[in-house]
Structure 1
Amino acid sequence: MKKLISFTLASSLFFISAIHLHAQAAQSAADRSKALSGLFAEMWEDRLQHSPEFASSIGDKRWNDQLTDYSVAAYNDRLARGRDYLLRLAAIDTTGLSDQEELSKDLMARELAEQQEAANFKPWEMPVDQFNGLQSSLPQLVSQLSFETVKDYDDYIARLKKMPAAFQQITDNMMTGMDDHRVPPKYLLEKVLVQVNTIAQEKPEDTPFARPLKKFPSAVSAADQERIKAEMLDAIQKQVLPAYTRFAKFLQGVYIPAGRTEPGVWSLPDGDKYYAFRVRQSTTTDLTPDQIHQIGLDEVKRDEAEMLVIAQKLGFKDLASMRASIASNATLHAKTKEQMLDLYRHDIDQMKTKLPDLFGRLPKAPLVVDAVPAFIEKDQAPAYYEHGTPDGKRPGTVYVNTYDFAHRSLANVESIAYHEGLPGHHLQISVAQELTGLPEFRKYMHYTAYTEGWGLYAEHLGKDVGFYQDPYSDYGRLEADIFRAIRLVVDTGVHSKHWSRDQMVAFFKEHSGLDDATVNAEVDRYIAWPAQALGYKMGQLKILELRAKAQKELGAKFDLKAFHDEVVDSGALPLDVLDERVTAWIAQQKGK
């Protein structure tokens, strides 16, 4: 099998610098602006064409009958195209162009160079875990599709028929990973097997893939409905379910036995280097795992001090007694799944009324709340957000995990609602999608530290506008905050300090009152997804730091709405870039 061509960040930057020296300075600013815009458009089209599922998720139906090519050859082609784009991008001099054009060029160059560097660690060899992979992404894609015409259904059926080839491609990649000793932990793969078997053992009409048959639009005739139903169920029966069954047999008989025993990525080839890369990628900082570990310990201590104040006001002598009380308090646990969903809807709705006080620009896209799909709920986080389409036809959705609802605390519902919905992910991502005058790729950039940092900062905004009136809910806010601080400790603990899973769980239980289902799902998430969870707290701390800086330097001139608009109005940004832009904005405000 072909080996993946690697290309280092240093090599990328060398080429950028070399070509930049020969940029055609004689070109007019208008010509260079046009060339840059044209290149961005070409690269955007490239992304959509080679990532058809992503294209479908944002409402572009041109490749609705296609699936991504997951072969090694396709990865190599992508890297080669990326190197070519880097060279062409570097050849365009941005002197005299707008601030946003210069920023767009810098962000794209950074993203392309990072893709080249990531290839050194062969991420394609470990394409599945309990959070990511075809086994879950394909059925989840169904809810992101719109079915308005006969062609929509026919394209979907054609896509279903391509699933066996896609599963074979990732199976081949995983076998190469076994040869290279790059495999996930065995116990996590056992969770993947459960997910795969859940779908493999269902009747065709009961699978998530048959969801489009539940309701047809009036534009589809009765005759077409019958044909579509027969062809779709046939494709599920003869193509999709056999692909899942074969994949399950591969997992059980071949892959799981080869799974690694150590949870930390330090145990992989170049594991320490890989984790350092992931830390830098997730946090967009140059902080070391040791530094982040200490920040986490400090933040845990700070949160516990604030939590103790609330506990003592409620009559508890310490945090342990309050946590025990919450765990046994029936009023702080849902009685039904629908009650959980309604509480999220209530908190999001009440925040809507406060948004004009916090932001000058508000999102137009609608937002709904729904339950996490049953086939993945056991291993999912308490909630997550899925963006809608820019045209608003598919709303943004906050998915709430109602698995084992009777044992999930309701104290943190309010903070999570603000994080995932408003003014968190839905506001920030929708505003980005609705921006005008920027290249399309800017509307869909995702920097974990920025996006998740904003979500965690959004939890704090509820306090600013007078919410969290229930002391248990305010305690839940701090519980949610400390849970992100704990992430800094346990993520670096397992991947850098060689902690065991038991050590991670013990630290969680010592410093939080989170239920067992949440603790177990979270710990397994950090093991499967190294450094991703670091971005939340690091991003929040940076935004709070910049806000405090602006308040101190601007004094009476400080406008919270203007500050928020400055933070969100350029889309997602690396934290160092956000710092530079907010610092420049502060200087500009001083001069007014």
Structure 2
Amino acid sequence: MSRAGDWAAQAEKIVSSAVFPALDRQIALVKELRAKASADAGVWRVPGGSEYYVDALAVATTTTMTPDEIHKIGLEQVAELTARIDAILKAEGMTTGTVGERLTALNADPKQLYANTDEGRAALLASLNADITKVSALLPKAFSTLPKAPIEVRRVPPFIQDGAPNGYYNPAALDGSRDAIYWINLKDTHDWPKYGLPALTYHEAVPGHHLQGSIAQETKGIPILRRQSFFSAYGEGWALYAEGVAEELGAYGDDRLGIAGSLQSLLFRAVRLVVDTGIHAKRWTREQATDYMVANTGFPRPRSLREVERYCVWPGQACSYKVGHNKWVELRKRAEAELGDRFNLPWFHDVLLDGAMPLTILEARVNERIKARKA
């Protein structure tokens, strides 16, 4: 039996005799495959790729929408959202250049940036907490059920920030041993212009992911599978819809640039519809997709390229966000139109108590609830 003092030597032996040789074999294989690899970005390039992409969209969006339908919707919504942002920017005195160019300039405006220091990071985190406090006080106007689990805002630990997403959400532990966490990557505070932060917070925390996920998790009348399940089109669609609910509740106040930030969030997801289907169904190159994203979102090229490379290796997933948002908006408008004076916003949002589900089932469930309310 090995003594405790041998652990370091044993670990070093394992790494040198097994781990390093395995990594060398992996490197050699990647180099061999790279020489044979195609520069084409889309999944259409592989046998059965076009059929696979249709299935990937069905999984991601939980609909039967075709690539052409999604591409067309994306183009239309990019144009619509660009026009809305244009009006706000002009009202704020920003009139030179395309909307994408003006957003790029706004992202670099020193007045929009927190210092890349510990003090700047602390101020940024304080602003996120202030936004959560502000919108939380308004939620009873739109929700009859609110999450019990607290949410904390935390910086992504510096030792993992290089490979971590920009912002993301972890639900609370089922047993209550850990609060929900809204993580934000502060490697570079200049990634976070101030005008876009409220929308991010309303998306990740309340009334977005934290509210939706916690309500489902805390509902006792449905099976645990439904309390814990996640469908990207449902959950990400809800979080985008929730950004708009925050605006309805007055969370942005008279901050027109904050509203522009929310619209930019929607624009980014509409651009994804165009780019993802462009790559995988219309044979766009990686450069063509990156150029389109830079021109329309105002995001810097390195970030846009990272996004495009994600879409290349994860066909369809990027379409789930805006397709889901469109369905939530459509169902709410339907309920308002059919119920008239009987429509009640907290009642509509109580569908969250049923847990996450595919969009086709969500539509059927909302239709059932409308019919029952009419009776």
Which residue is 1:480 aligned to? 265
Deviations 1:519-565 (A, max 9, x none): 23322221222111111100111010110111111111111001001
Equivalent runs, 1:328-339 vs 2, <5 Å: 328-335=108-115, 336-339=120-123
Which residue is 1:309 aligned to? 87
When residues 272 and 406 of structure 1 are mapped into structure 2, their CA distance, relative to the original with a 3 A threshold, is same
Equivalent-residue separation in structure 1 for 2:109 and 2:184 (angstroms): 21
1:471 to 245, 251, 256: 256
Equivalent-residue separation in structure 2 for 1:475 and 1:487 (angstroms): 18
- The question of whether the paired residues in 2 share the 8 Å contact of 1:382 and 1:518 is answered with no
Residue identity matched to 2:56: R
Aligned: 1:444 with 2:232? no
Q: For residue 422 of structure 1, give the secondary structure of its aligned residue in structure 2.
A: coil
When residues 534 and 467 of structure 1 are mapped into structure 2, their CA distance, relative to the original with a 3 A threshold, is same
Which residue is 2:340 aligned to? 555
When residues 364 and 282 of structure 1 are mapped into structure 2, their CA distance, relative to the original with a 3 A threshold, is same
Deviations 1:60-86 (A, max 9, x none): xxxxxxxxxxxxxxxxxxxxxxxxxxx
When residues 321 and 539 of structure 1 are mapped into structure 2, their CA distance, relative to the original with a 3 A threshold, is closer
2:320 to 535, 540, 554: 535
Which residue is 1:266 aligned to? 44
When residues 324 and 526 of structure 1 are mapped into structure 2, their CA distance, relative to the original with a 3 A threshold, is closer
Aligned: 1:251 with 2:20? no
1:519 to 291, 301, 304: 304
Residue identity matched to 1:359: F
Aligned: 1:574 with 2:348? no
Which residue is 2:161 aligned to? 377
Which residue is 2:239 aligned to? 455
Which residue is 2:102 aligned to? 322
Which residue is 1:347 aligned to? 131
Which residue is 1:502 aligned to? 287
When residues 321 and 440 of structure 1 are mapped into structure 2, their CA distance, relative to the original with a 3 A threshold, is closer
Query: TM-score normalised to the size of structure 2?
Result: 0.89
Equivalent runs, 1:5-404 vs 2, <5 Å: 245=20, 248-259=23-34, 260-261=37-38, 262-318=40-96, 319-320=99-100, 322-335=102-115, 336-374=120-158, 376-404=160-188
Equivalenced residues, count: 362
When residues 325 and 241 of structure 1 are mapped into structure 2, their CA distance, relative to the original with a 3 A threshold, is farther
Q: For residue 93 of structure 2, give the secondary structure of its aligned residue in structure 1.
A: coil
- The question of whether the paired residues in 1 share the 8 Å contact of 2:44 and 2:281 is answered with yes
Structure 1 residue 276, shift from structure 2 partner: 1.0
Equivalent-residue separation in structure 2 for 1:587 and 1:519 (angstroms): 44
Task: Report the RMSD for the aligned CA atoms in angstroms.
Answer: 2.5
Unaligned runs of 5+ in 2: none
- The question of whether the paired residues in 2 share the 8 Å contact of 1:493 and 1:504 is answered with yes
When residues 325 and 585 of structure 1 are mapped into structure 2, their CA distance, relative to the original with a 3 A threshold, is same
Structure 1 residue 311, shift from structure 2 partner: 1.0
Structure 1 residue 488, shift from structure 2 partner: 0.2
Which one is further off, 492-501 or 577-586?
492-501
Structure 1 residue 463, shift from structure 2 partner: 0.8
Unaligned runs of 5+ in 1: 1-226
Q: For residue 411 of structure 1, give the secondary structure of its aligned residue in structure 2.
A: helix
- The question of whether the paired residues in 2 share the 8 Å contact of 1:348 and 1:418 is answered with yes
Structure 1 residue 306, shift from structure 2 partner: 0.5
Structure 1 residue 285, shift from structure 2 partner: 0.7
Structure 1 residue 517, shift from structure 2 partner: 4.4
- The question of whether the paired residues in 1 share the 8 Å contact of 2:101 and 2:295 is answered with no
Equivalent-residue separation in structure 1 for 2:9 and 2:148 (angstroms): 40
Equivalent-residue separation in structure 2 for 1:572 and 1:532 (angstroms): 17
When residues 582 and 329 of structure 1 are mapped into structure 2, their CA distance, relative to the original with a 3 A threshold, is same
Equivalent-residue separation in structure 2 for 1:577 and 1:231 (angstroms): 58
Equivalent-residue separation in structure 1 for 2:124 and 2:16 (angstroms): 33
Which one is further off, 436-445 or 291-300?
436-445
Structure 1 residue 251, shift from structure 2 partner: 3.5
Residue identity matched to 1:326: L
Deviations 1:161-193 (A, max 9, x none): xxxxxxxxxxxxxxxxxxxxxxxxxxxxxxxxx
- The question of whether the paired residues in 2 share the 8 Å contact of 1:380 and 1:521 is answered with no
- The question of whether the paired residues in 2 share the 8 Å contact of 1:381 and 1:521 is answered with no
Deviations 1:222-245 (A, max 9, x none): xxxxx9xx9998897676898764
Q: Which has the larger radius of gyration?
A: 1
- The question of whether the paired residues in 2 share the 8 Å contact of 1:419 and 1:458 is answered with yes
Structure 1 residue 294, shift from structure 2 partner: 0.6
Equivalent-residue separation in structure 2 for 1:551 and 1:413 (angstroms): 30
Q: For residue 430 of structure 1, give the secondary structure of its aligned residue in structure 2.
A: helix
When residues 338 and 501 of structure 1 are mapped into structure 2, their CA distance, relative to the original with a 3 A threshold, is farther
Equivalent-residue separation in structure 2 for 1:416 and 1:557 (angstroms): 32
Residue identity matched to 2:237: G
Structure 1 residue 325, shift from structure 2 partner: 3.3
Residue identity matched to 2:360: D
Which one is further off, 325-334 or 449-458?
325-334
When residues 331 and 576 of structure 1 are mapped into structure 2, their CA distance, relative to the original with a 3 A threshold, is same
Query: TM-score normalised to the size of structure 1?
Result: 0.57
When residues 554 and 272 of structure 1 are mapped into structure 2, their CA distance, relative to the original with a 3 A threshold, is same
Q: For residue 364 of structure 1, give the secondary structure of its aligned residue in structure 2.
A: coil
Give the structure, 1 or 2, with the largest relative contact order (CA under 8 Å, sep 6 or more): 2
Q: For residue 241 of structure 2, give the secondary structure of its aligned residue in structure 1.
A: helix
- The question of whether the paired residues in 2 share the 8 Å contact of 1:272 and 1:496 is answered with yes
When residues 298 and 234 of structure 1 are mapped into structure 2, their CA distance, relative to the original with a 3 A threshold, is farther
Residue identity matched to 2:89: A
Q: For residue 169 of structure 2, give the secondary structure of its aligned residue in structure 1.
A: strand
State the identity as a percent: 35
Which residue is 1:100 aligned to? none
Equivalent-residue separation in structure 2 for 1:546 and 1:492 (angstroms): 25
